[in-house]
Amino acid sequence: MNDQLIRNVQVVNEGRTFTADVLVRGGRIERVAPEGIGSADRVREFDGAGRHLLPGAIDDQVHFREPGLTHKDDIAHASAAAAAGGITSFMEMPNTVPQTLTQELLEAKYARAAECSLVNWSFYMGISNNNLAEALRTDPRTVCGLKAFLGSSTGDMLVDDPGTLDRLFKEAHMLLAVHAEDEHTIRANMQRAVERWGEAIPIEEHPRIRSAEACHKSSSNAVALAKEHGTRLHVLHISTARELDLFAPGPLENKHITAEACVHHLWFTDADHANKGSLIKWNPAVKTAEDRAAIRQAVIDGRIDVVATDHAPHTLDEKARPYAQCPSGAPLVQHALPTMLELMHQGVFTLHQVVEKMCHAPARLFRIEGRGFIREGHHADLVLVDLDAPWTVTKENLLYKCGWSPLEGQRFRSRVVHTWVNGRSVYANGQVDRTVRGQRLRFDR
- Identify any residues that bridge with 74 across adjacent strands, giving them in sequence order: none
Q: Where in the chain is the domain with CATH 2.30.40.10?
A: 4-54+381-391+411-432
At residue 152, the pLDDT reads 61
Q: Where in the chain is the domain with CATH 3.20.20.140?
A: 56-366
Which candidate, 404, 432, 402, 409, places its Cα nearest to that of 419? 432
- Please, where are the H alpha helices in 63-182? 75-84, 103-116, 132-135, 162-171
pLDDT over 60 at 156, yes or no: no
* CATH code for residues 56-366: 3.20.20.140
At residue 40, the pLDDT reads 86
At residue 19, the pLDDT reads 98
Amino acid at 369: E
Interatomic CA distance for residues 299 and 211, integer angstroms = 21
At residue 158, the pLDDT reads 83
Q: What are phi and psi of 398, to 5 degrees?
A: -80, 140
Q: Does residue 310 carry a catalytic annotation? A: yes
Q: Three-class SS of residue 438?
A: coil
Query: What pTM was estimated for this model as a whole?
Result: 0.97
At residue 154, the pLDDT reads 52
- Identify any residues that bridge with 54 across adjacent strands, giving them in sequence order: 383
pLDDT over 60 at 153, yes or no: no
At residue 155, the pLDDT reads 52
pLDDT over 90 at 298, yes or no: yes
pLDDT over 90 at 194, yes or no: yes
* Range of weakest confidence among 111-120, 145-154, 231-240, 250-259: 145-154
Q: What are phi and psi of 298, to 5 degrees?
A: -70, -30
Give the model confidence (pLDDT) of 308-353 as tens digits. 999 999 999 999 999 999 999 999 999 999 999 999 999 999 999 9
Average pLDDT over residues 164-184: 96
User: How many Cβ atoms sit within 10 Å of the Cβ of residue 271?
Assistant: 12
DSSP letters, 204-234, are GGHHHHS-HHHHHHHHHHHHHHHHHHT--EE
Average pLDDT over residues 153-181: 88
At residue 316, the pLDDT reads 98
Interatomic CA distance for residues 228 and 217, integer angstroms = 17
At residue 183, the pLDDT reads 93
At residue 157, the pLDDT reads 74
- Give the CATH superfamily of 4-54+381-391+411-432: Urease, subunit C, domain 1 (2.30.40.10)
pLDDT over 90 at 76, yes or no: yes
Per-residue confidence band for 39, with pLDDT thresholds at 50, 70 and 90: confident
Instruction: Tell me whether residue 1 is exposed, middle or buried, using C-beta atoms within 10 angstroms of its C-beta: 0 to 12, 13 to 18, 19 or more.
Output: exposed
At residue 294, the pLDDT reads 98
Q: Is the peptide bond before 406 cis (omega within 30 degrees of 0)?
A: no
- Catalytically annotated residue among 73, 182, 310, 381: 310
pLDDT over 70 at 231, yes or no: yes
Which candidate, 87, 82, 69, 35, places its Cα nearest to that of 383? 87
At residue 151, the pLDDT reads 66
Interatomic CA distance for residues 301 and 248, integer angstroms = 9
CA 128 vs CA 152, 221, 394: distances in Å: 11, 18, 39
What share of the chain in percent tops pLDDT 90? 95
At residue 290's C-alpha, the angle toward residues 197 and 324, to 5°, is: 25
Give the model confidence (pLDDT) of 368-379 as tens digits. 999 999 999 999
Interatomic CA distance for residues 225 and 249, integer angstroms = 20
Contact 392, 410 (CB under 8 A): yes
